[in-house]
Structure 1
Amino acid sequence: MPLALLPFLLLVIPIMEIAVFIAVGKEIGLWPTLAMVLATAVMGSLLLRHQGFRLLGEIRSKMEAGALPGRALVHGVMLLLAGILLLTPGFVTDFCGFLLFVPPVRDWIWAAISKRIDIQFMGGSANQTPNASPHGDDGRGRIIDLDESEFRPSDPNSPWRGK
């Protein structure tokens, strides 16, 4: 999403929410409209809790099996977004939030945006080179580790001589 679109959305979404509030309020009245907004927030938080715990279990089991939980992590981010949308008062954001609770919708969104994302995996520790073994061989030759008492410089005038 281009950043130029963000101010547009921040202006359009509240205007859409107000228009829908007015339309629903005219049809069913003020108090039922407010009750619906509160009910969707409560339902959304309950759904988020239920699906969130299920998703955490899926992530945990995949990691214990040694697999990367990529899909589960993406679904977790989308569920978090769904929860935020449902806690935001309004029918438009509630509709979008409830859509994100449907796994096929999340899969479709991921398929649409994953083409634009470059995923890289980095493993190992920070002090190893790409070809390094855990025994200190970095693929460039033999490494000899000497203590100060085991090595004497051959030239006493060497700038590398300890002072």
Structure 2
Amino acid sequence: MRVFGFIIFFIYAYFELSFFIKVADSIGVFLALIGIIATSIIGFSLIKKQGLNNLSIMQQKIANNQSPKDEIIKSVSLLFAGFLLLIPGFLTDMLGGILLIPRVQDYIVRFIVKKFPFKVRSFSSSNNAQLNDVIEGEFERKDD
């Protein structure tokens, strides 16, 4: 299993370096490096924006006693996209950018929910507030 991991890593490194050399050959090494840094910065800003939007939708669904499973799956997709954008290289930046597209995220959510049907139970303090049981009384603390 360890050998398989090394083989995959070297195949990835080969393709990433080959792609970088082709891009650097056409636009120059300096511009290629700036391109890698720029795609990472732009990608992280998009992840931050989509992540905060996803978090607010998740909070609204929890407040309305709805299942936030779709947003949880989208959050995992955003986390994976952020990891791919963190790794320097054009191929990983393209894969991370593809994961940031909302239609791709929706497709991933539909695929995962279809393959792995699961139920989510939501417990919140608002459920207890609906009971409307109020107990009034007085107490006195006696120290020994």
Higher percent of residues as helix: 2
State how far apart, in whole Å, the 1-side matches of 2:20 and 2:96 are: 17
> What is the DSSP-based 3-state SS (H/G/I as helix, E as strand, rest coil) of the residue aligned with 1:68?
coil
Indicate conservation of the 8 Å contact 2:69/2:120, yes or no: no
Question: What is the 5 A alignment of 1:98-117?
Answer: 98-117=97-116
Alpha carbons of structure 1 residues 54 and 19: separation in structure 2 relative to 1, 3 Å: same
> What is the DSSP-based 3-state SS (H/G/I as helix, E as strand, rest coil) of the residue aligned with 1:35?
helix
> What is the DSSP-based 3-state SS (H/G/I as helix, E as strand, rest coil) of the residue aligned with 2:115?
coil
4-13 vs 61-70, greater mean Cα deviation = 4-13
CA offsets 1:66-105 (integer angstroms, 9 cap, x no match): 1110101100110111111111101111111011111111
Report what 1:63 is aligned to.
Answer: 62
**With structure 2 as the length reference, what TM-score do the two structures score?**
0.75
Report what 1:31 is aligned to.
Answer: 30
Report what 1:153 is aligned to.
Answer: none
Indicate conservation of the 8 Å contact 1:44/1:87, yes or no: no
Alpha carbons of structure 1 residues 5 and 107: separation in structure 2 relative to 1, 3 Å: farther
Pairing 1:51–2:50 present? yes
CA offsets 1:36-92 (integer angstroms, 9 cap, x no match): 000011101111111111111000000000111010110011011111111110111
* Structure 1 position 115, deviation (Å): 3.7
Gaps of 5+ in 2: 124-144
CA offsets 1:4-45 (integer angstroms, 9 cap, x no match): 975554332222111100100110111000000000111011
Count of residue pairs brought into register by the alignment: 122
Report what 1:17 is aligned to.
Answer: 16
Report what 2:132 is aligned to.
Answer: none
State how far apart, in whole Å, the 1-side matches of 2:9 and 2:109 are: 23
**With structure 1 as the length reference, what TM-score do the two structures score?**
0.67
CA RMSD of aligned residues (A): 2.3
Indicate conservation of the 8 Å contact 2:40/2:86, yes or no: yes
State how far apart, in whole Å, the 2-side matches of 1:62 and 1:73 are: 11
State how far apart, in whole Å, the 2-side matches of 1:5 and 1:120 are: 35
Of structures 1 and 2, the one scoring higher in RCO (CA 8 A, sep 6+) is 2
Gaps of 5+ in 1: 125-163
Once the two structures are aligned, what percentage of the paired residues are identical? 31
